[in-house]
Structure 1
């Protein structure tokens, strides 16, 4: 009975699919091995790949095959090759920016609004605050405090509050220890910063008191969050930052309810 069942399954597969299973090219296998070495840390950011002769001997491949493998990694932004240089390929571990621009383009093409992005951030950051309260170190909290003491005030004085505010939001998520959340935050970082820049620029031009009020509110809220993080109060940190994000979203969307991502990034 079982043999008949398996036979029927394979017959069905043969009937519905005439495409053979593709065998990976040698260059793809070499690229896979080099990629794994980068992921595992055997090749670190800034390291030079061994000379071609060494790699050809190690993998038992020809020079064209090896160069094709390197081109695969170059397309993935994992290595950087300077044409005409004798120094060869250099490992270049990418950050969130490698997916931020394609993700932004997809949002533009889908007609996503800034409101969509702010709602997504509101779903993400409070949970990051909860994680950071549970797993963060004094060094993490000190870094956030330094940003509130130095970076945000400096950006406010330079009339670039958006830069300091966006950096704090991003670093909060990066420090929470969840790589996936950090990647998502990095993808939305530029959109958020650009939009805040537009909103704060308008406030600073039209009403200095309103601009200063936004700055002081941000500082107080960030200090409150850090106090809760240091206390390890995960629930309170989550709730406080949830309220912060909700209030912030309401303020940032006044007059921009239908603004699309493409309008912000143009």
Structure 2
């Protein structure tokens, strides 16, 4: 997203080059935040200190901070007691932005489901070349156990979402895991308004059935039967999408305004 040009300050001779200078300053501060040199929640130094440190004017610094604010990497609190606080990049923020982009491109929940089918079973099948550790398998079993013991439906869904993420995380590929998180957020956001209704109308055995599939997939992965695990998981994803389609119009454009 392009940053609107700041009003020209006649007192600054290099006003025409300020936009470029602001981008350079924003890039340096962005690097510091992403690299962890600026901690989550940290307040940036006062303007006078930062302009001296960076060798730029106040208008240039302010424009740089506006750029970072649109990227949600900082929060600017204006006023006498204001300041600029550092935000850590997060999948939640990225997921909201991705959702808006997909809505703009008329993406449906069916499209998101197809992306999930291309992602999750393939990640499981690929474990044949990089088998998971016992610690990773133990984490999956802990999530299965947590879903068996949980009675609150919202928490049950959250734990179930984490199971999807941890399945993909077995591949030890951070970009792949992040993509899965973003897809999971879209599905969770789109279906959240219908969850309580589905809980009331659904017999307990349906929840138990899904948990049994989770456990079956973990058993197959631990036994090294990755192709079988991928097939079981694909069938499970298809089943839950068909069930969702009984309540939600999955062919309509995503509506994430919950």
Q: Residue 193 of structure 1: which of 188, 192, 204 is its match?
A: 188
Q: Which has the larger radius of gyration?
A: 1
Match of 2:93 in 1: 98
Check 1:23–1:60 CA distance in 2 against 1; reply closer, same or farther (3 A cut).
closer
Could you tell me how far apart the structure 2 residues matched to 1:224 and 1:246 are? Answer: 16
Could you tell me how far apart the structure 1 residues matched to 2:56 and 2:91 are? Answer: 33
User: In the alignment, does 2:38 pair up with 1:46?
Assistant: no
Could you tell me how far apart the structure 1 residues matched to 2:148 and 2:78 are? Answer: 40
Match of 2:146 in 1: 150
Could you tell me how far apart the structure 2 residues matched to 1:44 and 1:80 are? Answer: 13
Task: For residue 25 of structure 1, give the secondary structure of its aligned residue in structure 2.
Answer: helix
Name stretches of at least 5 consecutive residues in structure 2 with no aligned partner. Answer: 1-16
Cα-Cα RMSD: 3.2
User: In the alignment, does 2:136 pair up with 1:140?
Assistant: yes
Q: How far is 1:201 from its partner? A: 4.1
Q: How does 1:244-263 map to 2 (within 5 A)?
A: 244-254=236-246, 256=248, 258-263=250-255
Name stretches of at least 5 consecutive residues in structure 1 with no aligned partner. Answer: 1-21
Cα offsets for 1:17-71 (capped at 9, x unmatched) = xxxxx99621111111111222333334333434444432332122332222222
Count of aligned positions: 240
Q: How far is 1:143 from its partner? A: 2.7
Match of 1:19 in 2: none
Q: How far is 1:170 from its partner? A: 3.2
Task: For residue 75 of structure 2, give the secondary structure of its aligned residue in structure 1.
Answer: strand
Could you tell me how far apart the structure 2 residues matched to 1:80 and 1:23 are? Answer: 22
Could you tell me how far apart the structure 2 residues matched to 1:264 and 1:84 are? Answer: 33
Match of 1:226 in 2: 218
Check 1:248–1:107 CA distance in 2 against 1; reply closer, same or farther (3 A cut).
same
Check 1:92–1:104 CA distance in 2 against 1; reply closer, same or farther (3 A cut).
same
TM-score (norm 1): 0.73
Q: How far is 1:223 from its partner? A: 1.4
Q: How does 1:68-147 map to 2 (within 5 A)?
A: 68-84=63-79, 88-130=83-125, 134=130, 136-147=132-143
CA contact (8 A) 1:81 1:88 kept: yes
TM-score (norm 2): 0.75
CA contact (8 A) 1:191 1:261 kept: no
Check 1:111–1:35 CA distance in 2 against 1; reply closer, same or farther (3 A cut).
closer
